[in-house]
Homo-oligomer: A and B are copies of this chain.
Amino acid sequence: MQRSKKSSKSDKHVTPEKGIKMVDILHKVGIASSPEDVYTALSTVEGLAGWWTDDTQGESTVGGVLQFRFPPGGFDMLVTDSDPATHVAWQVIDGPEEWIGTTINWHLKQDGDFTTVLFKHQDWREPVEFMHHCSTKWAVYLLSLKSLVETGKGAPAPRDVKIDSWD
């Protein structure tokens, strides 16, 4: 997921052309904990650094920008929604060209002793090979999130599970 960050310049907030089928990455994990605990891991810099990347900075409230950095690059996310124990949403405002303008939604709901996390990374413009990579890599990070909340120990970058030669 951490391919080199390209200069995005004028193509920030790109709106895909009408008529193009856009494609989404979808995932689900169930975490043996409360929605409040999962929300904390998704809505605080400390929580996010515990499962996605050690190098997480910024402001996690609505209207803030989070900076996630990996050895070869990173992502800037505008926080567009943060509803305790329920929903977190980000818009990608800087990062690899393919990510600019895409949105990421985290929906949480209680399911018995579990919190179900429904994850959507939406509105990719094309199902490029990089999207395949990011889909698998998101699954790896969602399992890191599950581990962090359940055991106190996640596997954020640079200690993340490697999936291919881009990692």
- Per DSSP, chain A at the interface is mixed
Bits for A2-41, please: 1 = Cβ < 8 Å to B, else 0. 0000000000000000000101111111100000000000
A116 at the B interface (CB under 8 A): yes
User: What 8 A-B pairs come out closest when comparing CB atoms?
Assistant: A30-B164, A139-B139, A28-B132, A27-B136, A26-B132, A30-B165, A28-B133, A114-B165
Measured in the bound complex, the distance between the Cα atoms of B131 and A139 in whole Å is 13
Shortest Cβ distance from A27 into B: residue:
B136
CB-defined interface of A114-133 with B at 8 Å, one 1/0 digit per residue? Answer: 10101100000001010111
- A24 contact set on B, CB distance < 8 A: 23, 127
Q: Is the CB of B136 within 8 A of A163?
A: no
